[in-house]
Chains A and B, each alone.
Chain A
Amino acid sequence: EVQLVESGGGLVQPGGSLRLSCTVSGFIFGDFELNWVRQAPGKGLEWLAYISSGGRAIYYTDSVKGRFIISRDNAKKSLFLQMNSLRVEDTATYYCVRGGGINLPFDSWGQGTLVTVSS
């Protein structure tokens, strides 16, 4: 069974940093593209970042480019999101998501981790 489990969420002050992690099981980690998608409370889904299977191709949505960094460690089967200069509007549930390559769907989602940015 494919599983993605996020961790690292919590309460952080505006301007602070947080690092999210995602560990997976049930598939060969190094064979798959991965993404971070978030959802603010009561709002829709927002794609944030993509990383290719080998880690060479990386893309960000404009609202987080320059503040967030996506990375992966294929040996540890882990995906990361380093979030810097956090803003109140970054408050959301953050999902680790498999897939999302060119014309490909997001085929498996984690349960999400909540990040709250507040003073």
Chain B
Amino acid sequence: SYVLNQPPSVAVAPGKTATMTCEGDNLGIRSVHWYQQKPGQAPVLVMYNDRGRPSGIPERFSGSNSGNTATLTISRVEAGDEAAYYCQVWDNSNDHRVFGDGTKLTVL
């Protein structure tokens, strides 16, 4: 089955840029989605189909996907961005939906 790898944690100072990666075999040919989950809350979709921003998500959030790596970038990071971020794809080999293990973003 398909596997997505994410670093466990990323730390960034307020106002700086946070970059979170998601790695998988030939991931660039797949559509990657990203979810933000704050403590005690349900996940929220923040990026779809690699670089699409849902309504209500700030322009500070951007995405890309090429080769084996998808990236979620948050510019001008704010304290309210502190959360866990999960990438997700559809696995066409078995029709399963797959999540990465998540990256905990800490705002210093």
Binding site for B on A (CB under 8 A): 35, 44-47, 50, 57, 59, 61-62, 95, 100-112
Contact = CB atoms under 8 A, between A and B. Distances in A.
A106 B88 contact: yes
Contacts, number: 63
Interface stretch (B11-19, B20-28, B67-75, B96-104): B96-104
A106 B47 CA distance: 10
A15 B35 CA distance: 33
Given A105-B49, A109-B43, 6 more contacts: A44-B86, A47-B88, A59-B96, A102-B92, A103-B30, A109-B44
B51 interface: no
Contact of B101 (A44, A105, A109, A112): A44
Interface of B: 1, 30-31, 33, 35, 37, 42-45, 48-49, 54, 84, 86, 88, 90, 92, 94-102
Contacts of A106: 33, 35, 43, 45, 88, 97
A100 B83 CA distance: 22
Contacts of A57: 95
A44 B6 CA distance: 11
A44 B42 contact: no
A110 B92 CA distance: 26
B90 A103 contact: yes
A106 B96 CA distance: 13
Given A45-B86, A45-B102, A59-B96, A107 B54 contact: yes
A50 B90 CA distance: 11
